[in-house]
Chain A
């Protein structure tokens, strides 16, 4: 007997379903939600160094996820994300010191300012493509570094610290201080911890939602063949631009939160290529490019490595460099990419599967 052919009585659509989730991913969603709840309550039981490490993991993972979204999915290789991290930090300091706003409430506004700035910056760097795009983003970051070194009110080239009055008086500080029974400095860190956690959840959720939506399909099409994608009506530039602005917004959030925690900013720290781009690329490459799990794993691994090896100075970076190059050449899928290929496990599945239901018996 030949394959049953769907007839008019049995519409095609009813037999085919597109499925993205897997059983593992459904179970993992529950675990992930439980993990987020656990992390929210972590300040109640975790030590301060632990919280500080977690803040760093959250911020680096957020940046790595955004870089991954650009490089791994949209084909935008930027080596200039430090521009937006630095701008986020400087926007926050300007809002607090010049504007006199509350530090916590300044964070989202700083990120918004960065997102707005990223629109003209984007229209400039989008004039170049591929490898040129990469280097031009770097030049732009240098321009911002040199420009902000001229801002005398924020300390010029040597940078500045947040005034005590600003750091000691933050929205919610007193409440947290009483709730956990801790001093003001620790309470401040708890608030910053939550802000960092919120940023990561936002970025993970944002990336996952984006990749499962029509945009995700479009990105996949762009990756497989940009010209072909354009020919079937995917407006590739608009999607790439949107992702660029989203990544800038997130980098702005990260910069604002990070420099609120350190309470000190300087052009060299804010626009550091090493901290905000080289480390991030390492994290993504080691963890696994073009996956959501990879950058998160990479960020955790990076902070562990940093804690273990930070005493070795330049040797630590030499090890990172060698490791990065070796992974790129020998195992370009990274830790998660290889694991997932080997086991077939996807915690954040974005690939669509077509399920074909067996045809009903033909009664005749």
Chain B
């Protein structure tokens, strides 16, 4: 029973990691860009939510709903005015610019919010749990997992069921050819980054409720997200969920053996995947 409990907790943790990873996976899928500031942007969004709750007195879910359109706009603008300038044959430039953003965000947060550890509060629901098959499962982890599935489902729908998705996929296949069809890849990239920001803001909401955060925790979030994307298969949305779950379970089992091994166990499972299945579980052909 204990073992089953560990696994279930790990799977639910994987939902959170899939949320971290979904935005990264989308960006990679569309423009082959790894946004090294992804984790720090999640932390930034969590701090903005915190500021909205404390300064404006808004309930947390309302703050999230208000923030989402602004997140989209910010992502759109970041891509349109900064990151689009870095895209080209050389992968060095986008990597280094997003790396610079990472330093900027971390230290900007340090100036604005200090290094203190913070948390978002959702009230009584945080401590509630439900009994399923004799296991006591937290309501918040359950909601997180459900939201992860919904978000990935929504992204899948956008990707494979809408005109925008067709443009996104076509741009991903060839930025040159879509221009012949009258699609401006720069605009498509900006929209993709906007969507990525919406998803990472949702991820920030759940991260802030489930754990303490401070300006320095972003890079670890980036690494979990990256690992989930690679384990799942590059550019595969549902693979990302599987990758998140595998990472979550690995960490939960590691933590069960020795609390200090939680993160290490996740990294090691990732490296094993690199050795035996470098293209991930569900590689896009």
A residues with a Cβ closer than 8 A to B are 71, 77, 79, 124, 127-128, 130-132, 134-136, 138-140, 142-143, 146-147, 149-150, 157, 273-274, 278, 281, 285, 289, 313-315, 317-318, 320-322, 324-325, 328-329, 332
Contact across chains for B111 and A314 when beta carbons are under 8 A apart: yes
Q: Which A residues lie within 8 Å of B264 (CB)?
A: 143, 146-147
Given A79-B36, A139-B271, decide whether A329 and B97 contact each other with a Cβ distance below 8 A.
yes
B residues 233-285 with Cβ under 8 Å of A? 260, 263-264, 267-268, 270-271, 274-275, 278
**Contact across chains for A322 and B104 when beta carbons are under 8 A apart:** yes
CB pairs A–B below 8 angstroms (9 shown): A79-B99, A131-B94, A139-B223, A143-B268, A146-B267, A147-B264, A328-B86, A328-B93, A329-B97
In this complex, how many residues of chain B approach chain A with their Cβ under 8 Å: the count is 40
Asked whether, in the complex, the Cβ of A318 is within 8 Å of the Cβ of B104, the reply is yes
Report yes or no: A71 in contact with B92, Cβ–Cβ below 8 A: yes
**Distance A154 CA – B274 CA, assembled complex (angstroms):** 30
CB contacts (< 8 Å) of B96 on chain A: these are 281, 285, 324, 328
Task: Tell me the minimal C-beta distance from B198 to chain A in angstroms.
Answer: 23
| A317 near B95: Cβ-Cβ < 8 Å | no
Interface centre among A124, A157, A281, A321 (most CB of B within 10 A): A321
A79 CA to B100 CA, complexed, in Å: 12
**What chain A residues lie within 8 Å of B270 (beta carbons)?**
139
CB distance from A317 to the nearest CB of B (A): 4
User: Could you tell me if A325 and B101 are in contact, using CB atoms closer than 8 angstroms?
Assistant: yes
Secondary structure class of chain B's binding surface, majority of residues: helix
A134 and B36 CA atoms in complex are apart in Å by 10
Q: Which residues of B contact A124 (CB under 8 A)?
A: 271, 274-275
Alpha-carbon gap, A274 to B103, bound state (A): 9
Whether the pair A139, B111 counts as a contact (CB closer than 8 A) is no
Q: How far is the CA of A289 from the CA of B111 in the complex (A)?
A: 31
**How far apart are the CA atoms of A77 and B93 in the complex, in Å?**
11
Contact A318 B108 (CB under 8 A): yes
Task: Give the CA-CA distance A317 to B109 in the complex, in Å.
Answer: 12
Across-interface contacts of B94 in A (CB, < 8 A): 131
Cβ contacts B93-127/A at 8 Å (1 or 0 each)? 11111011101101110110000000000000000
Residues of B with C-beta under 8 A to A278: 99, 103
Q: In the bound complex, do residue B278 and residue A128 qualify as a contact, i.e. CB atoms below 8 Å apart? A: yes
Known: A135-B222, A321-B101. 6 other contacts (CB 8 A): A128-B278, A314-B108, A315-B111, A318-B107, A321-B103, A321-B104
B85 within 8 A of A: yes
Residues B111 and A131 in contact, CB atoms below 8 Å apart? no
Instruction: Please report the C-alpha to C-alpha distance between residue A289 and residue B219 in the assembled complex, in whole angstroms.
Output: 25
Q: Min CB distance, A10 to chain B, in Å?
A: 43
What residue in chain A is nearest B270 (Cβ atoms)? A139
For residue A104, give the distance in angstroms from its CB to the closest CB of chain B: 33
Question: Nearest CB to that of B226 among chain A residues?
Answer: A135
Residues of B within 8 A of A79 (CB): 36, 95, 99
Bound-state Cα–Cα, A89 to B27, Å? 37
Q: Which residues of A contact B34 (CB under 8 A)?
A: 131-132, 134-135
- Complex contacts, A140 vs chain B, CB 8 Å: 271
Q: Which of A142, A322, A324, A328 contacts B223 (CB 8 A)?
A: A142
Q: Chain B CB within 10 Å — which of A135, A142, A150, A313 has the most?
A: A135
The answer to whether A127 and B275 have CB atoms under 8 Å apart is yes
A329: chain B residues at CB < 8 Å are 82, 85-86, 93, 97
Q: A139-B267, A139-B270, A143-B264 are in contact. Are A317 and B103 (CB under 8 A)?
A: yes
B230 within 8 A of A: yes
Q: Which of chain A's residues have a CB closer than 8 A to the CB of B32?
A: 131
- Verify if B227 is at the interface (C-beta below 8 Å from A): yes
CB <8 Å contact, A77 and B104: no
A328 with B97: CB separation less than 8 A: yes
Q: How far is the CB of B105 from the nearest CB of chain A, in Å?
A: 9
Q: How far is the CA of A317 from the CA of B107 in the complex (A)?
A: 7
Residues of A with C-beta under 8 A to B82: 325, 329
Contacts of B158 in A (CB 8 A): none
CA distance A328 to B110 in the complex (A): 24
**B177 at the A interface (CB under 8 A):** no
Instruction: Knowing A128-B278, A321-B107, say if A139 contacts B227 (CB, 8 Å).
Output: yes
What's the nearest-Cβ distance from chain A to residue B98, in Å?
Answer: 9
A139 to B231, CA, bound (A): 14
B91 engages A328 (CB within 8 Å): no
For the complex formed, measure the closest distance between the CB of B232 and the CB atoms of chain A, giving whole angstroms: 14
- Shortest distance from the beta carbon of A272 to any chain B beta carbon, whole Å: 11
- With a CB–CB cut-off of 8 A, which chain A residues contact B106? 317
Docked complex Cα distance between A322 and B226 (Å)? 25
| Measured CA separation A146–B255 after assembly (Å) | 13
- Once the chains bind, are B100 and A324 in contact (CB under 8 Å)? yes
Q: Which 5 residue pairs across A and B have the least CB separation, nearest first?
A: A314-B107, A321-B104, A321-B103, A325-B100, A131-B34
Chain B 73-99 interface mask (CB, 8 Å, partner A; 1/0): 000000000100110000111111101
Residue of B nearest to A133 (CB): B91
Please give, as numbers and ranges, the residues of chain B lying within 8 Å of A136 by CB-CB distance.
274
Residues of B within 8 A of A324 (CB): 96, 100, 103
Complex Cα spacing A127 to B230, Å: 12
Q: With CB as the reference atom, state the residue of chain A lying closest to B220.
A: A142
User: When the two chains form their complex, are residues B230 and A132 in contact, meaning their CB atoms are under 8 A apart?
Assistant: yes
Partner of A127, one of B99, B103, B226, B274: B274
Assembled-state Cα–Cα distance A132/B278 (Å): 10
Instruction: Give chain A nearest CB distance to B94 CB in angstroms.
Output: 8
Q: B227: which A residues are within 8 A, CB to CB? A: 139
Which residues of A lie under 8 Å from residue B222 when comparing CB positions? 135
Q: Which residues of A contact B93 (CB under 8 A)?
A: 328-329, 332
